[in-house]
Amino acid sequence: MKRAIITVVGKDTVGIIAKVCTSLAEENVNILDISQTIVSGYFNMMMIVDITERDADFVKLAHKVESLGTEIGVVIKMQREDIFNSMHRI
């Protein structure tokens, strides 16, 4: 299984989770785990997703979710899990 980490950060508004999840479903990306919190009106979400079906198109998919973030007023970043783990290893 190929996995990726998606982070979403920005001012809280209605529909952020719905829009992100709908976009991922349209791309055949399965959400394996999700955590979200709102602190003083700021939204923060982290997702672990299965990108096995989209691994060859990873860059295109990452650009699509980043563009969605721009549309809805949040910052969305997507990284392959192995790269994420390497960057955060102590």
- Segment 49-64, tens digit of pLDDT: 999 988 789 999 999 9
Residue 88 has pLDDT above 70, yes or no: no
Question: Model pTM?
Answer: 0.89
pLDDT: is 49 or 85 the higher one? 49
Distance CA 42, CA 55 (A): 31
CA end-to-end distance (rounded Å), the chain: 25
Domain count, the chain: 1
- Could you read off the pLDDT of 36-52 as tens digits, one per residue? 999 999 999 999 999 99
- Could you read off the pLDDT of 8-36 as tens digits, one per residue? 999 999 999 999 999 999 999 999 999 99
The DSSP result for 24-49, as a single string, is HHHTT-EEEEEEEEEETTEEEEEEEE
- For residue 58, give the CATH number of its domain: 3.30.70.260
The residue segments making up the domain with residue 62 are 3-87
> Cβ distance 14 to 59 under 8 Å?
no
CA distances from 80 to 3, 10, 15, 37, 38 (A): 6, 22, 25, 22, 25
